[in-house]
Amino acid sequence: MAVTFPTGLFDLTGKIAVVTGGSRGLGREMALAFAQSGANVVIASRKAEACETLAEKVRAETGREALGVGCHVGRWADCDALADRALERFGRVDVLVNNAGMSPIYPSLAEVSEELWDKVLAVNLKGAFRLSARLGTHMAGAEGGSIINVSSIAAVAATPGEVPYGAAKAGLHNLTLSMARAFAPKVRVNCIMPGPFMTDISRAWSPEMIEGLHRMVPLGRGGEAREIVGAALYLATDASSFTTGAILKVDGGAVYPAA
């Protein structure tokens, strides 16, 4: 008896995907995977040159169209400009990944400045709201689509060293659930909750912190950036056609229960 593999469920041919924080780390891997699966991609981050460098790689290696856009997602006007550029270039957006984030180190809670607090909330939460509001509304009025938020286990495993960041990511979980209802039934809104990943950010981690992963993470290590791709493709494509309002934990088992 022949076995049929449902690979077509993960096909993004002809789709348009926007990825924030897309020039490096998890965002870079997701943008590349989407293009390799057939999508044209808009790669956005604060560094326009890095976005265009990756866009050139996408065009050269996959033959897909790619647009690099400098965008500070903590600024409302930048979010609107990104949405406008994507829609002007491609006419529609089918997938939005709100991946941009930041978690600055601070010496103590009393020394968290208003500026730091506002910046962390803006980049991790405000930008995701504005882009989802703009592009989710567009998707709902067109052929539908998928919005993927990227949070962190800090949203559910509170630590004193990540208070603004954890609060913002917890807010992103609520945003996911709220917008899943607001844009239903044509737009699905889900969230990936990563644990520790060995991206360029991990280069600043101490040897003790990296060693601690062996104890904290049941799989005994941090994730490699490419290991986010399966979850992203699942939520971006028809493979997850009956999934919305979900928080998908990709953390090697670091926290439980799931949010």
**Each residue's pLDDT tens digit, 106-160:** 999 999 999 999 999 999 999 999 999 999 999 999 999 999 999 999 999 988 9
Instruction: Specify the length of the chain in residues.
Output: 259
The Cα–Cα gap between 105 and 118 comes to 14
Cis omega (within 30 of 0) for bond into 104: no
Domains and CATH numbers, the chain: 12-249 (3.40.50.720)
Interacting residues of 24 by C-beta distance below 8 A, sequence separation 6+: 45, 50, 199, 200
Residues labelled catalytic: 165
Mean pLDDT (whole number) for 212-233: 88
Report if pTM > 0.75. Answer: yes
Do residues 120 and 131 touch, judged by C-beta distance below 8 A?
no
- Assess whether pLDDT exceeds 80 at residue 200: no
8 Å CB contact between 131 and 189:
no
Instruction: Sort 218 into a burial class: Cβ within 10 Å, 0-12 / 13-18 / 19+.
Output: exposed
